[in-house]
Amino acid sequence: MAISVLLADDHRIFREGLLSLLQGVEDIQVVGEAANGREAVRLAARLRPAVVVMDISMPELNGVEATRQILADAPRARVLVLSMHRDPRYVAGVLEAGAKGYLLKDCAAAELVSVIRTVANGESYLSPQVAEVVVRGFVGRLSLETGRPPASVLSPREREVLQLLAEGCDTRTIADRLHIGVKTVETHRRNLMEKLGLTNLADLIRYALREGVTSLDEWLKG
């Protein structure tokens, strides 16, 4: 039986390249494509792919939080991160969220195909470059260096609100996107500010960028 794969990346031309590559592989079948993390969560729930090939920096819902939500609903799914980021914050965040593999986008096509098979079998894989980051123990060191708690102390909904705030969305827009009330958004915002020890939106944006909750590109677009 072919390995069912969901592709999640906000760059259409990159998704099309992956699709073209994987369509030529006999034991892999691409069953869906997502342009952002929220769409990836929705499609994963409906399509139940064996492997989700996930970018990290995506609008609305980043790959780290999308990974958490996908695995909370479908723990048997395997998430393989395919990202340009080598930053330890991204690596730590997505591994903590439950991803089984982490590849850099400059990898060879044959390596990607091989790693999809590896994670589909329940094994883990890290690119040599990111494995070095993990071995050096960046996960624990980062919290001490920044003096702020990691984003994992927030609830899933608080992390969603944090990303949307950092991307420039106002309270009403966030309420509409998350299908919740304006007062609920305000409560989440107040709670996450208290948990993180922040006092204003500028500090919140800096925190979100530093922790990899959103990328500079997404913030500039917002």
Note whether 131 and 163 are same-domain residues. no
Note whether 174 and 81 are same-domain residues. no
pLDDT at 60 over 70: yes
Least confident range of 6-10, 117-121, 209-213, 218-222: 218-222
Report, as an integer, the average pLDDT of 39-57.
96
Note whether 57 and 75 are same-domain residues. yes
Report, as an integer, the average pLDDT of 138-149.
51
Q: What pTM was estimated for this model as a whole? A: 0.71
DSSP letter assigned to residue 2: P
Note whether 24 and 95 are same-domain residues. yes
Least confident range of 58-62, 137-141, 175-179: 137-141
Least confident range of 13-22, 34-43, 197-206, 207-216: 207-216
Question: What pLDDT, on a 0 to 100 scale, did the predictor assign at position 139?
Answer: 45
Smallest CA-to-CA distance from 41 within 97, 86, 120 is with 97
- Which of 117, 139, 161 lies at the terminal end of a domain, its last residue? 139
- For the stretch 183-201, pLDDT in tens is 999 999 989 888 888 887 7
Question: What pLDDT, on a 0 to 100 scale, did the predictor assign at position 222?
Answer: 54
pLDDT at 137 over 60: no
Note whether 157 and 134 are same-domain residues. no
Note whether 58 and 154 are same-domain residues. no
What's the CATH code of the domain at 13? 3.40.50.2300
Note whether 43 and 125 are same-domain residues. yes
Note whether 130 and 206 are same-domain residues. no
pLDDT at 24 over 90: no
pLDDT band of residue 121 (cuts 50, 70, 90) is very high
What does the mean pLDDT of the chain come to?
86
Task: Report angle CA 58, 150, 119 to the nearest 5 degrees.
Answer: 55
187: tokens are: 């409560």
- Percent residues over pLDDT 90 in the chain: 57
Full domain range(s) for residue 191? 148-221
d(CA 200, CA 193): 8
- For the stretch 69-99, pLDDT in tens is 999 999 999 999 999 988 777 888 888 899 9
Q: In total, how many domains does the chain have?
A: 2
- Percent residues over pLDDT 70 in the chain: 87
39: tokens are: 């769409």
**DSSP assignment string, 47-111:** H--SEEEE-SS-SSS-HHHHHHHHHHH-TT-EEEEEES---HHHHHHHHHHT-SEEEETTS-HHH
Note whether 31 and 107 are same-domain residues. yes
Note whether 11 and 59 are same-domain residues. yes
Question: What pLDDT, on a 0 to 100 scale, did the predictor assign at position 169?
Answer: 86
Note whether 61 and 78 are same-domain residues. yes
- Which of 104, 139, 174 lies at the terminal end of a domain, its last residue? 139
- Which of 89, 119, 139 lies at the terminal end of a domain, its last residue? 139
Note whether 35 and 116 are same-domain residues. yes
pLDDT band of residue 213 (cuts 50, 70, 90) is confident
d(CA 149, CA 151): 7
